[in-house]
Amino acid sequence: MNYRNDLILRAARGEKTERTPVWMMRQAGRILPEYREVRAQAGDFKTLVETPELAAEVTIQPVDILGVDAAIIFSDILVIPDAMGCTYEMVEARGPVFPQTIRSEADLKQIHIADPTELQYVTDAIALTVKQLDGRVPLIGFAGAPFTIFAYMTEGKGSKTFSIAKKLLYADPSFAHKLLGMITQSTIAYLKAQIAAGAAMVQLFDSWAGILSPAQYREFSGVYIREICAAITEVPVTIFAKGAWFALEDFGGYPCRTVGLDWNTDPAWARQLVGKDKTLQGNLDPCQLYASPELVTAATHQMLDQFAGGPHIANLGHGVYPDTPVDSVKAFIEAVKSYSKA
Ligand code: CP3
């Protein structure tokens, strides 16, 4: 595939680029009024995710409206448990709920390793998006990291502490490893199908990494992330493990290309731990975007200076919040483009 703008792919490979590429986690959906229109047309979240034409439309909106250097496919990390037989419902104003949780060896009989054909609505959406993007920018595919998916499948809903999921790691590690292994196998096949459909790079979201101790993280999350990185040889892989500052040195030795940083992590310190040859991604505090465009511009310049020592993909330190003013988002993207070129 020939891209008219392949800055993000070159930065991910560690090559020098004429300016820093920029995109935002959770850019598809949430902030744009144009998204909310399509969302209303679809009726509910799951229908939107499972209708390739509509998913492609909201995936491309941020490229058209915000001028980001990559699209990320509109979907959700929870499609993997769904395909495995642990279905979710997206409850308005509350978030995901799983009517049936998986908490024991006996519960494993209710689920299976997902086959990518069960997620054809995602690969169809990817193929359609790539066709409609027509080489303007690359498309990012994604999946949840196995521990974060485990957390939702066991807990059954969002949680501040995920104490049920954590309890199982301590109380029944053998079950935990079996479920994590099934999620890992499902995820590898799913990511390979996304790449075959046209995803030019992929990101793993370990949103709940920060609730584990360093030792637990290594045992129940890191090993599976490493296994996925080793299996995905076709395109660059990004690991974003929120709150897992203690795993940065390990990530430096994983067969991935890019390590995403949350806003709690100092970029220069992370660079020392991760090493010279990987690309770093991040890490402006999404809350910074509530400030005026002038303040956002200044903060973005500061952030870029902090990453100056090596290859960088500009992003936020976590997903953009739904009520963020679009003008400040635009100021962030413009500031990356003009300042990093100068
Ligand atoms: O990045 C993108 O723009 C692509 C789309 C995307 C969504 N979810 C769409 C979505 C991505 C990459 C995700 C990942 C995701 N989903 C994560 C990991 C990223 C992170 O923020 O840490 C997690 C933990 C989930 C699970 C999930 N999905 C929750 C907890 C919720 C409810 C709260 C929320 O975030 O809004 C969702 C729903 C969801 N996924 C929405 C969108 C646009 C909002 C639903 C709506 O429009 O009604």
Q: For position 29, what pLDDT does the model report?
A: 87
> Rounded to the nearest whole angstrom, what is the distance from the C-alpha of residue 200 to the centroid of ligand 1?
21
Ligand 1 contacts CB of residue 9 (under 6 A)? no
- Alpha-helical (H) ranges within the chain are 7-12, 33-42, 45-50, 52-66, 79-84, 120-133, 146-155, 163-171, 173-197, 214-217, 223-231, 248-252, 267-274, 293-306, 326-341
CA–CA gap between residue 20 and residue 337 (Å, rounded): 7
> Rounded to the nearest whole angstrom, what is the distance from the C-alpha of residue 161 to the centroid of ligand 1?
18
Ligand 1 contacts CB of residue 321 (under 6 A)? no
Domains of the chain: 7-287+311-322 (3.20.20.210)
From 224, 220, 122, select the one nearest 173 (Cα to Cα).
220
Q: For position 293, what pLDDT does the model report?
A: 96
What pTM, to 2 d.p., does this model score? 0.97
The answer for residues whose C-beta is within 8 angstroms of residue 322's C-beta and 6 or more apart is 30, 31
In ligand 1, which atom is closest to the CA atom of 25?
1
Length of the chain: 342
Closest residue CA from atom 8 of ligand 1? 76
Give me the average pLDDT of each 10-residue run along the chain (342 residues). Answer: 96 97 95 96 96 98 98 98 98 94 98 98 98 98 98 97 97 98 99 98 98 97 98 98 98 98 98 97 98 97 96 98 96 97 82
Q: Which residue in 10, 30, 136, 218 is the catalytic one?
A: 30
Q: For position 93, what pLDDT does the model report?
A: 87
